[in-house]
Amino acid sequence: MLDSQVVDQIGRHWGWVALRGVVAILFGLMAMFMPAITLSALVLVWGAFALADGVLALIAGIRIRDQGKPLWALIVVGLLGVGAGIATFLWPGLTALVLLYIIAFWALVAGVFQVIAAIRFRKDIRNEWFLGLSGLVSILFGAMLVMQPGAGALALVWVIGIYAVFFGILLLVFSLRLKQHRAP
């Protein structure tokens, strides 16, 4: 069970979660409305998204305190995102299959840690299931990519875009729930 100080910390830093949601929605909309984007441009755009999401998750994980310690689940998600983003920029000529597996691994692991965080919050925050559902969506998305690696580039762009928009909406809704837990 989280103590009142942790709940207060979570409430005060709700904006970082909301910003992650906005970044995800913008990325998803761009991917869906620009389906003719080249795979190399998609690689760079996805790398920027993973890097931005990772940095924001790191900031949130460091600022939100659990008994005086950073929230480790968000820090792990942040490090994964930063690592995936940097790897994408270092090797922009990756094949679609390698990129697909990077995205799948990132989504699977990030989803697991978001579910863990939602379970941790379940007794202290109402509707924490939004965070858990965003984690489940990430896990399902990653599993789908692993099971269907031969999907075409256009289909992948649409799937990534829809995933990012849905993920972002869930994070925004969750952030509004967090906002209610800030101290007056």
Each residue's pLDDT expressed in tens, for the chain with a length of 184 residues = 566 677 677 777 888 889 989 999 998 998 888 766 656 777 788 889 999 999 999 998 888 877 777 788 889 999 999 998 998 888 876 656 777 788 889 889 999 998 998 888 887 787 778 888 989 999 998 888 888 776 655 677 788 889 899 999 998 998 888 888 776 6
Determine the pLDDT at residue 47: 87
Q: Shortest CA distance to 79 belongs to which of 98, 101, 60, 104?
A: 60
Q: Which two tokens stand for residue 175?
A: 């952030």
CA gap 82, 71 in Å, rounded: 17
d(CA 29, CA 119): 30
Domain ranges across the chain: 4-179
Reading the block at residue 147, the tokens are 């099971």
Looking at the domain 4-179, which fold is it? 1.25.40
Name 65's bridge partners.
70
